[in-house]
């Protein structure tokens, strides 16, 4: 039986993973900004569920929720950093207040929760950190440049963390979904204000923004199926560093690797020629 600590448990991957973990017999610390949104999880899981109010941008709430997990269940085996938001705007259109808020949640909040949970995992010399990234953490798209930046940051942070904690018995997995019906493109995402829209980007960022909004709720990915994969990887004795979820995510990751190789190969001599000549 594993004990999960899940941020953003009120909807999306967080909620579906909490339900799947409970179905498997695990225990869940379900957190969200609103306790009312978690009431049914508490009723469903009984003694195997602890709910806690948590805004990942508020350090005092992070510390309290992690302390409650320790008091109730003795610690955390699996951390699922799921809380996050989106923002749709061309890079030039983007409003700094919106961008900074997203970065605070998607990157700094994730890092703060991880830092609060790691001492307990280090003491036990075991644990799994699951960080929800995105196919957009590997490749970029118009209209979500700053969202891409936040997820690229999660990727880099997670890769370094994986190397630091591996000798301590702790595993790190990047969850990299493509389009799923999780409300990511619905109410959870902000977008450029009408007065800030730049007509020159209508065919790129504008078209992509409209496509995201129009497809909200009809994405190919099934959150319940994703939750099964997420719980499976947490129970895996040798999990991968990356778990792309969805056909577009899997193909997109490999296409990015191929594109990078093709892009740099033609100038290999130039790249290698920048080093000092060995004497």
Cα–Cα distance for residue pair 235/130, rounded to 1 Å: 12
- How far apart CA 41 and CA 23 sit, in angstroms, is 12
Contact 175, 133 (CB under 8 A): yes
Q: How far is it, in rounded angstroms, from Cα 263 to Cα 198?
A: 30
* Integer Cα distance of 107 and 150 in angstroms: 6
Helices (H) and strands (E) in the chain, counts: 10, 9
151 catalytic residue (yes or no):
yes
256 in active site:
no
Residue from 147, 150, 158, 178 carrying the catalytic annotation: 147
Task: Give me the residue label for tokens 């569920």.
Answer: 49
Which are the contacts of 106, defined by CB distance < 8 A and separation ≥ 6? 84, 85, 147, 150, 151, 153, 154
Which residues, 6 or more positions from 216, have their beta carbon under 8 angstroms from its beta carbon? 181, 183, 184, 185, 186
Q: How many angstroms separate the CA atoms of 79 and 17, rounded?
A: 11
Q: Which of 9, 10, 94, 133 is catalytic?
A: 133
Find the catalytic residue in 9, 87, 134, 151.
151
d(CA 120, CA 201): 48
133 is catalytic: yes
Active site residues: 133, 147, 151
């Amino acid at each position: 039986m594993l004990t999960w600590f899940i941020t953003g448990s009120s909807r999306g991957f967080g909620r579906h993973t909490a339900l799947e973990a409970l179905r498997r017999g695990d225990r869940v610390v379900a957190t969200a900004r609103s306790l009312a949104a978690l009431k049914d999880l508490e009723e469903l899981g009984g003694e195997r569920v602890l709910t806690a109010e948590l805004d990942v941008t508020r350090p005092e709430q992070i510390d309290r929720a992690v302390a409650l997990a320790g008091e109730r269940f003795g610690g955390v085996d699996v951390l699922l950093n799921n809380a996050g938001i989106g923002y749709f705007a061309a890079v030039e259109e983007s409003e700094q207040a919106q961008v900074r808020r997203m970065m605070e949640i998607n990157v700094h909040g994730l890092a703060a929760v991880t830092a609060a949970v790691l001492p307990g995992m280090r003491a036990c010399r075991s644990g799994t950190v699951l960080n929800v990234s995105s196919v957009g953490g590997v490749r970029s798209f118009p209209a979500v440049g700053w969202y891409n930046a936040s997820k690229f940051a999660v990727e880099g942070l997670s890769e370094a963390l994986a190397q630091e904690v591996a000798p301590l018995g702790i595993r790190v997995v990047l969850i990299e979904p493509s389009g799923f019906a999780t409300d990511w493109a619905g109410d959870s995402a902000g977008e450029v204000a009408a007065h800030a829209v730049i007509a020159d980007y209508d065919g790129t960022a504008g078209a992509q923004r409209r496509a995201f909004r129009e497809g909200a709720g009809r994405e190919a990915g099934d959150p319940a199926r994703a939750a099964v994969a997420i719980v499976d990887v947490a129970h895996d004795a040798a999990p991968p560093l990356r778990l792309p979820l969805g056909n577009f995510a899997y193909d997109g990751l490999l296409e990015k690797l191929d594109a990078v190789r093709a892009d740099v190969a033609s100038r290999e001599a130039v790249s290698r020629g920048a080093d000092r000549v060995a004497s």
